[in-house]
Amino acid sequence: MSQEFKKVLVANRGEIAMRVFRACHDLGLQTIAIYSNEDTYSLFRTAADESYLIGENESPLGAYLDIPRILELAKRHGADAIHPGYGFLSENGDFARACEEAGIRFIGPSSRVLDLMGDKLSAKSLAISCGVPTIPGTSTPLSSGAEARRLAEEFGFPVILKAAAGGGGRGMRRCDSAEEVTANFDLVKAEAGKAFGNDDIFMEKFLLEPKHIEIQVLADEHGHVAHLFERDCSLQRRYQKVVEFTPAFSVSEEVRRALYDDAVKIAKRVGYTNAGTLEFLVDREGHHYFIEMNPRIQVEHTVTEMVTGVDLVRSQILIAEGCPLSDPRIGIRSQSDVRRNGYAIQCRVTTEDPANNFAPDTGKITAYRSPGGFGVRLDGATAGAGSVISPYYDSLLVKVTTWDNTFEGVCGKAARAIREIHVRGVKTNIAFISNILANPTFLAGRCHTRFIDET
């Protein structure tokens, strides 16, 4: 169904809200920001054409999860569509369904697809039906710690307990013994319920030293699906991504092509529309396994944009309006139209203290200097002298994405850009990232760097 938007509400905050506002303005669309009490003085709300306080009596997180209030505000102020960004309600099927019932376009997949692919267990079942390999594990939610312990002993250690909903590294614990399964079961269940409103958890065999490769796809409402190559997201801390890059050259071309094929196959089978990311693990023998689909825009989408020239957020909006991938503003008439040029890497600069177990730091930024130069892109919403970093939300300060013709070149450019950043008033992970970039061999190696926590 074709529908030209005039005004878009962004049901999110911070960096991703800024990113969506910019894409909307590039298309000539009006924008609406919503903000909590705690975000009253945040920069992102000033980037929209209109901004409104929401959740006056809610918690800092609850303000951005209040579906009835968000929809009431959207209708009252004439929004044609809502972009959920990432996190918060972006994978919430009930939110997408409420938008559909209210006659407001949800810029993302349908509620049916979100119900299916937003849940890791149902997504895994669909992958199996497509003949795509998955990691051995449970296919239904675990009912008790005793059941989890029994199954873990059957699978063999190590195993991992995982939330069925959500993402971002929350609700995940590796267990190397039956005692650890018992100790972590209630913790993971509670964390899943708190973070995603769904405390279902499941178990998988934990693969030792795999690579974490994700495939970006775009799909329109006319049955066309295209992949935009892969990103290597193996460098993680506590299952949260720190540095991402493309291409994932440490994985063979044969394996990458198999990943492309399987990603497109799954997207077509489920009838996917809009932007999505399919995540896989590749073991030391080159076997790949589907683990989940993120039915939304990813934090690291900038990496793909830098090497393909495709504006993924603008594409999301156009697809939601009913435009095909062949629309000149998207420019994908067939898969062969998607070309990759050079290398890109994204580093997430956060207000965390590496010397204090990466505890988030808060306070006022008293001095700030940003990097620049050819091939350097910055995405942020809280960086600047006078900005106040609160304890209520994600600690992301700015995403630094760089491009170059070679991997060594892009790492060098990223290292230079990171060194140019100057922040006073709050602690950051800048030195931590600089140490990573100083060793490109480590960054691109076969070792899965989730073990970064132990080094």
Q: What residues act catalytically?
A: 296
| 386: Cβ contacts below 8 Å, ≥ 6 apart | 364, 365
Closest CA to 287 of 395, 209, 368, 369: 209
| 8 Å CB contact between 103 and 125 | no
Residue 143: partners with Cβ closer than 8 Å, 6 or more residues away: none
Chain position carrying tokens 């009431």: 72
- In sequence order, what DSSP letters do the residues of 352-387 get, joined into one string? EEGGGTTEE--EE--EEE---STTEEEEESS-STT-
- CA dihedral sign, ordered 189, 192, 195, 198: negative
* Distance from the Cα of residue 345 to its chain's centroid: 15
Peptide bond into 328 cis (omega under 30): no
Helices 120-129 and 253-270 sit at what angle, rounded to 10 degrees?
110
Q: Are 222 and 191 in contact (CB under 8 A)?
A: no
